[in-house]
Amino acid sequence: MEKFIIRSTMVKPRLVFLHHSLDIHKQWLWKALSEDFDLTVIAGASKGVRPWDLQRDSEFESVPYRIVISRGPNLFVQSGRERGVDGVQLRFDTLRLLNNEDPDLVVSTETGMRSLLAYWYSQRKKIPFTIWWEGTPFQHRRVNWLRRMIRKFLATRVDHWITHGSEFDSTYVQSLGVARERIFETPFTINGEPFSPGTRIEKLDDNFTLLVASQLHKRKGIAQLFASLEHVAQIDEELFSRLELRIAGSGQLENSIAEFAATRPYIVLLGALSREQLISEYRNANVFVFPSLDDQWGVVVNEAVMCGTPCFCSHYAGAHRLLPSQWWFDPLRPSDLAERLRAFSLGQYECVPLTVKGLPKPHSEVGKEVSAFLQSLYEQREKRQ
């Protein structure tokens, strides 16, 4: 009886997890962390901001952790040539939200202004701060001077890093100045339960269907995708005549994309879709394309490949690591994707759908490992005090 009382009254350490959005593909991790921590997830975008998942609210109705949405004023600081892409997002309420939660430790999944503010907060409060790196080294080729400066600063100051252990993670962050002993490696994994190959929809026409699911913002590379398809028209007229591009999503560029599509009948705008509708689109597509110019990950790639859909992914998105290198492309080179699509249409690609069985460890096991690592940081801090 005494043992039961001790366990039931024990106060868990307070953990804040800073993430760019309320992400259903992080839910397995957050549930695992909430078993050992009093967890608050501070999401950098409002619920429902990702238009292809209209069921987001219901997914988070009953979760064992708190959710705080960052709704304060934001400022995009331009620091490069391409407006809306080259710069950093300054979220003014990051410090206020951290002060409100008063955490014992903080985790952040980016290397920009949000992490810079979280680092400053952790230094002031003398608590452990960890960056979970999920980016891609290909981004470094086009990272603007301000982001590169912040990234370098964090690499030499932040004591704890989590990576997935591949050449795209540990080797890269070490090249920034992170010492090897400061890196905790955990294998990449996902929870594939919501998505499965299911029954591929039998196509009743000869259309070559490409699917894109994305927020319609400049950095998502939609304009670059259009340029690639125009290049398809130059190298293979027959393929282009069968081409159908279906775009799921909404955002700032909706009107300009609709205007562009009005004179190109091969483009179909789907708008926001429910999960069931999107899964149907995945299964009906010949190919899924993710042309992002800058994405820490890109969870729609997870969804597409888990549905058994062949996927070409920009190497500026962290999710490209899910795929063999022949499925990566550079969206800034229109001929790159165009030639790959042509080769795919000619049967020159071997399609090997991703499955949960093919991952090195189940997500439940990885969640426990990450939780144990963060617990060790908390215990070290307690001993020092």
What's the pLDDT tens digit per position in 44-97? 754 333 444 444 556 777 889 999 988 766 665 555 555 555 555 666 789 999
- Report residue 24's pLDDT band, with 50, 70 and 90 as the boundaries: confident
**pLDDT for the residue numbered 57:** 56
Is the pLDDT at 290 greater than 90? The verdict is: yes
Q: Which distant-in-sequence residues (6+ apart) come within 8 Å of 80 by Cβ?
A: 86, 87, 144, 145
Give the span between the Cα atoms of 385 and 379, in whole angstroms.
Answer: 10
Residue-by-residue DSSP string for 64-113: SSEEEE--S-EEEEE-SSSTTTSEEEEETTHHHHHHHH--SEEEES-SSH
Domain boundaries, the chain: 10-189+360-384, 208-357
Do residues 272 and 250 make contact, with C-beta atoms less than 8 angstroms apart? yes
Ordered alpha helix ranges (H), the chain:
2-9, 27-34, 56-59, 94-101, 113-125, 145-157, 170-176, 222-235, 237-242, 254-261, 275-284, 299-306, 334-345, 363-384
Do residues 225 and 291 make contact, with C-beta atoms less than 8 angstroms apart? yes
Do residues 120 and 30 make contact, with C-beta atoms less than 8 angstroms apart? no
**pLDDT for the residue numbered 356:** 45
Given CATH 3.40.50.2000, say whether it is the number of domain 208-357.
yes
What's the pLDDT tens digit per position in 205-243? 588 999 999 888 888 999 999 999 999 999 999 999 999
- Tell me the average pLDDT across 319-340: 91
Does this chain's domain 10-189+360-384 share its CATH topology with 208-357?
A: yes
Residue of 331, 256, 293, 223 lying closest to 80 (CA atoms): 293
Phi, psi of 148, rounded to the nearest 5 degrees: -65, -40
Give the span between the Cα atoms of 150 and 72, in whole angstroms.
Answer: 22
Three-state SS at 8: helix
- What percent of the chain is modeled with pLDDT above 70? 78
Indicate the DSSP class of residue 325. Answer: G
**pLDDT for the residue numbered 199:** 55
Is the pLDDT at 104 greater than 90? The verdict is: yes
Is the pLDDT at 6 greater than 70? The verdict is: no
Is the pLDDT at 257 greater than 60? The verdict is: yes
Instruction: Lowest mean pLDDT of 50-54, 113-117, 371-375, name the range.
Output: 50-54
Q: Is 136 exposed, middle or buried (0-12, 13-18, 19+ CB in 10 A)?
A: buried
Q: What is the CATH number of domain 10-189+360-384?
A: 3.40.50.2000
Phi-psi domain of 338 (left: phi exceeds 0; alpha: psi -120 through 50; beta: other): alpha
Stated pTM of the model: 0.76
